Amino acid sequence: MNNNTTEEIDLNEIIGIVFKRWWIIVATVLLGIVAAVIANTLIRPAYKATALLMINQENAGKIDVNPYGSFTAEEDYYRTQYQLLESRSLLEKVYAKLDLGQYEQFANPGGVGKLKKAIKIDPITRSRLVNVSATTYDATLSAEIANTLARTFVAENISNRISMGQDVIRALESTEKSSAEQELLNSMPQVVNSDFIKSLKQQAASLEGQRAQLAAKYTDKHPDLISVENQLKSVNEQINTETRRLVQSIKIELSGQFSGNNIRIVDGAVTPTSSVRPRKLINLAIGILGGGLFGLLIVFALEFLDQSVKSSEDLEQKLNLPFLGFVPYEKQKQKELEYATMLKKGNFLLAENVRNVRTMLDFSLADQPNAPILITSSLQGEGKSNLSSNLLVAMAQAGKKVLLIDGDLRRSRLHRVFRLSIDKGLSNIWDKDPQKADYASNVQPVKDVPNLFVMTAGQRPPNPAELLNTPKLADFINWAKGHYDQVIVDCPAIMPVSDALLWGRYIPHAVFVIKYGKTNAKLASVAIDKLKKANIKVLGAVIGHYRPEGFSYGKYAYYKKYSYYSEDGK
């Protein structure tokens, strides 16, 4: 069960990563399509013509005249034939016959080598058939090359078979045979291996021995010697007669063997009507697939290099901070009060998430329920003022009397959020005029939000750090804690100024704001370390400007549709 859940989470995270940067994948796919179209346009069309040959293994028969030797394995024979089809000598004859040097594709130098690259020998499995193909930029030329190569190979095969038997044929056809030709015929296997001729030769040898013995004793006229010589002559005539008979049969057999050919053209090549290159659909598919894969590679590389914070897991793993909640991004269509996002009709997602942050803070301060809180971030523009204004609205809606202080004396903002005057504000509490420096007189109520009071930053002073580093600030905070149920200070960012740390001397609790997908984890870690060194306890972090991306964060978006949070079901 747990393993399946883990796998589901991992898959959702992967899908979320892809959907978060989907535009990168779309862009790379479009680039792949453009590249494929350009390739299809620039690649010169090539045409392929194919001739079909049948190669039968040579029949050994009784006479071995195979020009390539005797093969014990059929595979060896066919492999040799395939190599011969690509042999340089054969290609040179084709090159010369078609005068291929006149074509740009096969122009010298290296014309025959270019022809070899254009030729493809493709045996058909489990058959004696082989495809001989030629690919060129000219459809007609492709067919001519394939057919010429096939015909030349067939002719070469016949010539080679006959050339190995030429000596035998000349000896057979000669009427007055020379001693060498007669010796060739006598040495043929059919003659040598004849049992009848063997017996005759044994008789002749015996008679030769007898004749030699008689010749030593008698004269040439002696009847015994004449009788032996007559017998020897008769035996030799029988040997010659039998030899001629065997030679005649060999001649007939050879004429039958050389009259046919074991290689023939089954189908000649025809002029192709369509090109084989470029393969437009395949190139387009490769462009789309390659672009998509490249886009995925970029997306995951960016995700791996991304040091921003986007989830509660990132907070725990990268910053070691408790997660207090999300504040969703809300696009303002008009210049409306920013706190109104908590109140405007139908904005249930933001309102509910801000209430969740309020609840988490209540848990974090269970032992000090009315402790003042600083709200800060690592850099300016990460959403701390947005959180502060909406959080105080939520607290006021809960029945608390709350005070929101704009603690940024350098770049004040809350007076614009709530459309309040800057003539009254924090900078006045250091005024020498006691009436102007009165704390209560510098606090302004927010219209339409009961229990919510705001102290703006007031007029910008020339020396904010010096003002915050005086006992007056501590006295003001003690006054605020005594008059309000909750005090929140919207502080400046930790970097590059130290104003937030000066506030922390009197308010030791802080909420850290992270801008979704923008705040750098390393920079945030440095800022949090500064807070901790100043003995400021970071209660947790809120991820602001959150935008649901992909499926991995989709679970937070259900608030918008769930009727539990609709007006009818308050």
% of the chain surpassing 90 pLDDT: 43
More confident residue, 243 or 118: 118
536 phi and psi angles, rounded to 5 deg = -100, 120
Mean pLDDT for the stretch of residues 206-234? 86
pLDDT in tens, 123-133: 999 899 999 99
CA distances from 83 to 63, 87, 91, 92, 533 (A): 25, 6, 12, 15, 81
Q: Which residue has the higher pLDDT, 222 or 190?
A: 222
pLDDT of res. 344? 58
First-to-final CA distance of the chain: 36
Q: Which residues touch 205 (CB under 8 Å, ≥6 apart)? A: none
pTM of the shown model: 0.57
Domain boundaries, the chain: 182-260, 308-548
Q: What radius of gyration do the chain's Cα atoms show?
A: 52
Superfamily (CATH) of domain 308-548: P-loop containing nucleotide triphosphate hydrolases (3.40.50.300)
Q: What is the pLDDT of residue 76?
A: 84
pLDDT of residue 245: 81
User: DSSP strand E in 262-344: where?
Assistant: 263-267, 323-328
- Rounded mean pLDDT, 392-418: 89
In the structure, what pLDDT confidence band is assigned to residue 172 with cuts at 50, 70 and 90?
A: low
Describe the strand order of the beta sheet including 486-490 as a list of residue ranges.
323-328, 537-546, 509-515, 373-377, 486-490, 402-406, 452-455, 444-445
- Of the candidates 552, 547, 550, which has an alpha carbon nearest to the alpha carbon of residue 518? 547
Q: What tens digit of pLDDT does each residue of 437-451 get?
A: 999 999 999 888 889
Predicted local confidence at residue 554, as pLDDT: 43
Judged by phi (left if over 0) then psi (alpha if -120 to 50, else beta), residue 540 lies in: left
| pLDDT for 372 beyond 80 | yes
d(CA 427, CA 437): 9
How high is the pLDDT of residue 217? 85
Portion of the chain with pLDDT greater than 70, in percent:
82
pLDDT of residue 253: 63
Q: 443-492 pLDDT, tens per residue? A: 999 888 889 999 999 998 888 888 898 889 999 999 999 999 999 999 99
Q: What is the pLDDT of residues 233-258, one digit of tens each?
A: 898 888 888 887 877 776 666 555 55
What is the pLDDT averaged over residues 22-27?
93
pLDDT of residue 10: 66
Per-residue confidence (pLDDT) for residue 214, from 0 to 100: 85
- Under 8 Å between Cβ of 149 and 165: no
Predicted local confidence at residue 60, as pLDDT? 40
Q: With 60 as the cut, is the pLDDT of residue 175 above it? A: no
Burial 300-333 (b: 16+ CB within 10 A, else e): eeebeebebbbbbebbeebbebebbbbbbebeee
pLDDT of residue 548: 66
CB neighbour burial string for 387-403, b if at least 16 within 10 angstroms, e if fewer: bbbbbbbbbbbeebebb
Which residues have CB under 8 Å from 570's CB, separation 6+? none
